[in-house]
Structure 1
Amino acid sequence: MAAEGGKIDPMHQFLVEPLFGNSLTLGGYNIAFTNSALWMVLTLVAIWVFMLGGMKRELVPGRWQAAVEGASSFISNMVHANIGPEGKKFTPYIFSLFMFILVANVLGMMPVGIVPNVHPFTVTSHITVTGVLAIVSFSMVLIVGFARHGLHFFSLFVPHGTPALMLPLIVPIELISFLIRPFSLGLRLFVAMTAGHILMKVLAGFVIGGLNAEAAWVAPVVGLPVFVLMVGISVLELLVCAIQAYVFALLTSLYLNDAVNLH
């Protein structure tokens, strides 16, 4: 939590900084290991530990195995409901996508800031990360669509039963709505996580300001209510973490359904 002149900077939490200096370059580009890269690695490690600990295949599953089986079954059922039997081949990708976003969101909410010189970082609060995830998903839609249907994939932009006179109007609208999908995917997650963390940091500033105020009445009158509000918003943010992961996975499966089944 950066502060200058007693003021907390709510944007400092999104700053990408190298951890071991700026000297590591390749082809003129700085490839230093950053705090963003560190938290992505921690996300992958957390997912690996979660999956490894729950894949024991015991006849009577324990809580850990039940959690892993529940998560995988949840995504598998969602993919089957949206794509059909052919969606089974896409389940590993959508499950990986869901778990990465969920764990990255939750890790960014962990109160590790109480440890000196340790700051949590939410990688999904950067458009570069969410944009890459969206582009990969959209690219998969295009690859599957053209590989399965060839040029007939363009019929996706001509809704069934559209009158010929309406085609000059409908086709551009359908094309634009299709091309905007990766932008909406990436921006939705990016905006939701960024806005929530900014709000929490601003509220934290009010709490700290109330505790450091010279007037004794400021802390109970201002700091305490804001602290209670901050706790409530933190719980809401945890819910948002799960919802955003689910929405990203759900929309990806719906877009893949268009590529597989057209309409």
Structure 2
Amino acid sequence: MAEQAKVDPMHQFSIEPLGGTANWEIAGYNIAFTNSALWMLITAVVLTLFVAGGMKRQMVPGRWQMAVETFTGFIDDMLQANIGAEGRKYLPYVFTLFMFILFANLLGLLPLGVVGVHPFTFTSHFTVTGILAIISFAIVLIVGFKKHGLHFFSLFVPHGTPLPMIPLIFIIELVSFLVRPFSLALRLFVAMMAGHVLLEVLSSFVIDGTNAGPGFGVMVGIPSFVLMIAICALELLVSAIQAYVFALLTSLYINDAENLH
């Protein structure tokens, strides 16, 4: 009797302490160094090396320098278009945010399982995307109140709103504003989690179809494998799009704080 694939689609999202850190606690809180923390560190190191390698400032830039300058110019143009001249001062943060999410998404798709290393896509956890969203939201609040003071609340009352409608519109706009960090975090988290679950499910079809015999292998295994390749290509695109959307929405929210649009 053919052995069925033992694939748990949700196991890949399990946060586990690494060897020797399972019982690390301070004041009752576990501070173990986990697989999620490890891949955050790996992403930060890879991103640092990538940027450092492109800062040679050669008169005739090489491919590496051109890649870094292309990404920097791309984010700079986005900030200029959405915020204006004031947007340039946010370039370091938005560039780092975009590249960190992009590298995290791409590293999580590397097929390192064939050599016994299992990448961990930490952007598939709401706690991580939530923290990134909260940081962006905090910048918006700090900029808004520092630059405009209490006049920042005028953001929640669109120009030309009839006087009797102001209380209702203010509440609606305020709730919409407060939901922004949640929706910003949820979008990235759901997109990355859904793609990885789909790939895991398809892999179980490939294994089960192959184990069930040549007939099932041809009818189920091969189509599932071809679909996996297509989904992997789509996930590469989604990884870039989600990083861009996160950075774009962050720049739009900062624009509201800068210009009270």
- Would the TM-score normalized by the shorter structure come out above 0.5? yes
1:211 and 2:207 equivalent?
no
1:141 and 2:140 equivalent?
yes
Give the corresponding residue for 1:234.
Answer: 232
Give the corresponding residue for 1:95.
Answer: 95
In 2: Cα distance, 1:179 partner to 1:58 partner: 45
Give the corresponding residue for 1:199.
Answer: 198
Q: 1:5 to 1:233 in 2, by over 3 A?
A: closer
Give the corresponding residue for 2:44.
Answer: 44
For 1:167-206, what aligned pairs fall within 5 Å after superposition?
A: 167-206=166-205
Task: Count how many residue pairs are aligned between Structure 1 and Structure 2.
Answer: 258
Structure 1: segments with no counterpart, 5+ residues: none
Shift of 1:43: 0.2
Shift of 1:192: 0.4
Q: Please state whether the residue corresponding to 2:59 is helix, strand or coil.
A: coil
Give the corresponding residue for 2:151.
Answer: 152
Q: Point out which structure has higher relative CO (alpha carbons under 8 A, 6+ apart).
A: 2
> Taking every aligned residue pair, what percent have the same amino acid on both sides?
67
In 2: Cα distance, 1:88 partner to 1:199 partner: 39
Shift of 1:168: 2.5
Shift of 1:120: 1.1
In 2: Cα distance, 1:87 partner to 1:59 partner: 27
Q: Please state whether the residue corresponding to 1:7 is helix, strand or coil.
A: coil
Q: Does structure 2 retain, via aligned residues, the 8 Å contact 1:20–1:32?
A: no
Shift of 1:171: 1.2
Shift of 1:7: 2.7
In 1: Cα distance, 2:80 partner to 2:29 partner: 43
In 2: Cα distance, 1:155 partner to 1:6 partner: 58
* Root-mean-square deviation over aligned CA pairs: 1.1
Shift of 1:172: 1.2
Q: TM-score by structure 2 length?
A: 0.97
In 2: Cα distance, 1:29 partner to 1:176 partner: 33
In 2: Cα distance, 1:225 partner to 1:262 partner: 52
Q: Does structure 1 retain, via aligned residues, the 8 Å contact 2:5–2:207?
A: no
Give the corresponding residue for 1:34.
Answer: 34
In 1: Cα distance, 2:200 partner to 2:46 partner: 25
